[in-house]
Structures are given as structure tokens and as C-alpha cells.
Homo-oligomer: A and B are copies of this chain.
Amino acid sequence: MTQQPHNFELFSFWRSSATYRVRVGLNLKGLQPAEHYVNLDAGEQRSEAFLKINPLGAVPALINLGAEQSSVPLTQSLAILEFLEDTYPTPAMLPQDGLGRARVRSIAAMLAVDTHPLITPRVKKYLTTVGNFDEEAWRAWQINWFGTGLRALEQRLSNETETGTFCHGDMPTMADICLASIIVVMRTFKIEIVDIPTVQRIMANCEQIDAFAMADPGRQLGAPTG
């Protein structure tokens, strides 16, 4: 992995699962962004300064300094990963064959579409205020959706012959990035889902790769120490 000069500015938060995905993608492509920390716990995503960067108040936002239209930030982790793949094809984060690409994107969606949106801070805010959820009910909600998503994933990975060292064959893809993005955020919440041996095996393989290890939430600016 060779580091290239700062062509990108990444607006990020240490614990954000979606930011993690983009960090791993940038790392795999050997791209080193200048990183700007947006403290979601302090509401900085709604500050006047950040809303000038991204009017929707969401991280990650990636500014492509090399582009003509550099004022519009790239948003949405899956769209950013696809952009990186389109722009820097090597090393690939998608297989070359159509059915393989469809399988990787489908697995990625099981995690980033079916699972993660249900446990975001804005959902927590609604459920714990309007919805009268106490902390215990919120935790049960988190465990329900992490468990639903990861058990469905385990069923696929353990039954489908395309599964290898990673979710699809022996090179990491967007599917692994999304898998790891769910596991790392579960760890920050101290939630464990049992009986998912294939998922755990693949996660351990991901963590052997620098691009994943360097993106770990605990190693980012703003993470709790000790």
C-alpha cells in the first residue's frame, strides 16, 4: 500500500460505522485524506461551519480536491466506495464478473442497508424521546437488529460456495468492509452476537489487513483512551 498525497478531505467521527467503511476503502486504495473531526456527540454536525461543508449534516463527507466541482462533497458510504472503485480500480473492491459483483453488493446491502440504518443516533433519539424507549429497550432493539442481520449473513456465508477467506473468495471486497463496519460498531456498544462462526472467522481475517486495522474506531482521533 503506497500513500499518495492528500487529494481528499474526509469529514469523520471516530465511532461512525459509515465513516469506517470509507476509511477502509481509502486505505485499500492507498489514499491518505486530510481528516476533519466532527464531534457528533457534541452536535457539531449541525454547526453552521459544518453545514457549509455538507448541508445535510451527515458524516462521512469526502471532498475530492482534484475535482472541478470540488465544492459538492461526496456523501453516503456506499456511493463513496463505488466512486473510489470507479476512479482507482486497483486493488479491486469488487469482483470482475457480473454475478460476483451482484453477490458482493447484495451482502454489503444486508449490512449497510438492512441493518445499520436501524441503529443510528437519529433513530436512538426518536425512540428514546418520542418512542418512550428506556436504555434497556434501546439495547434490546440494537441487539435484535444486529442479531437479525448477522444471523442472516452467517446463513448465506456458510451455505454459499463463493465464500472464501473473505465474504467472496480470497480478496477483501465491499462486502467485507460492510461486515467489519458492523462488528466494530457493535464492539463500541459492547454487544456480542453468538453462533456466527463464519462471520467471526472473516472478521479476524480482515483485521490482519492494515487497511482494516488502521481504520479501527479505537485508533481514531476523538476515541476514548485507555
Contacts and interface: CB of A to CB of B under 8 A. Distances in A.
Contacts of A130: 140-141, 144
Nearest to A144: B126
Contacts of A141: 126, 130-131
B72 A109 contact: no
A90 interface: no
Nearest to A70: B99
A192 interface: no
Given A105-B78, A109-B79, A99 B55 contact: no
Classify the secondary structure of A's interface with B. helix
B118 A105 contact: no
Nearest to A74: B102
Copy total for this chain:
2
A152 B99 contact: no
A172 to B, nearest CB: 18
A76 interface: yes
B126 A159 contact: no
Interface of A: 55-56, 64, 67, 69, 72, 74-76, 78-80, 82-83, 86-87, 98-99, 101-103, 105-106, 108-110, 112-114, 117-118, 122-123, 126-127, 130-133, 137, 140-141, 144, 148, 152, 155-156, 159-160
